[in-house]
Amino acid sequence: MLRLLKLLLVCLVALVLSAMAWQRQLLYFPTHHDRDNGLIPWRDKGELIGVYRPAAPPANVWLMTHGNGGQASDRAYAIPSFSRTDAVYILEYPGYGLRQGTPSKESINEAAKEAYLLLRQQYPDRPVCVVGESLGSGPASFLATVTPPPDKIVLVAPFDKLHRVGQYHYRFLPVRLLLADDWDNVKSLAGYKGKVEIFGAMNDEVIPARFAKTLAESRPGTVFHEIPGGHNDWATPGRVSIRNP
Is the four-CA dihedral 214, 177, 17, 136 of positive or negative sign?
A: positive
Amino acid at 142: F
| Confidence (pLDDT) at 180 | 87
Distance between CA atoms of 8 and 19, rounded to whole angstroms? 16
86 pLDDT higher than 80: yes
Task: Give per-residue pLDDT as tens, 7-44.
Answer: 777 766 666 666 655 678 889 999 999 999 999 999 99
Domain membership of residue 241 (yes or no) is: no
| Total domain count, the chain | 1
On average, the pLDDT of the chain sits at 94
Phi-psi region of 19 (alpha: psi -120 to 50; beta: other; left: phi over 0): alpha
- 90 occurs within a structural domain: yes
Distance between the two ends of the chain, CA-based, in angstroms? Answer: 64
Q: Does the predicted TM-score (pTM) go above 0.85?
A: yes
199 in a structural domain:
yes
Q: How confident is the model at residue 50 (pLDDT cuts 50, 70, 90)?
A: very high
Choose between 244 and 1: higher pLDDT.
244
Query: Does 124 fall in a domain?
Result: yes
Instruction: Please check whether residue 232 lies inside any domain of the structure.
Output: no
Contacts of 200 (CB under 8 A, 6+ apart): 157, 158, 209, 210, 211, 212, 213, 216, 224, 225, 226, 227
Confirm whether 161 is domain-assigned.
Answer: yes
In the chain, % of residues over pLDDT 90: 85
- Tell me if 2 is assigned to some domain: yes
Domain that holds residue 20: 1-30+37-227
Q: What pLDDT score was predicted for residue 3? A: 77
Query: What was the pLDDT predicted at 108?
Result: 99
Inside any domain, residue 238: no
Q: What's the burial of 157, exposed, middle or buried (CB within 10 Å: 0-12/13-18/19+)?
A: buried
Q: Residues of 204-225 as b/e, b for ≥16 C-beta within 10 angstroms?
A: bebbbbebbbbbbeebeebebb
Domain CATH code at residue 65: 3.40.50.1820
Q: Bigger pLDDT: 22 or 238?
A: 238
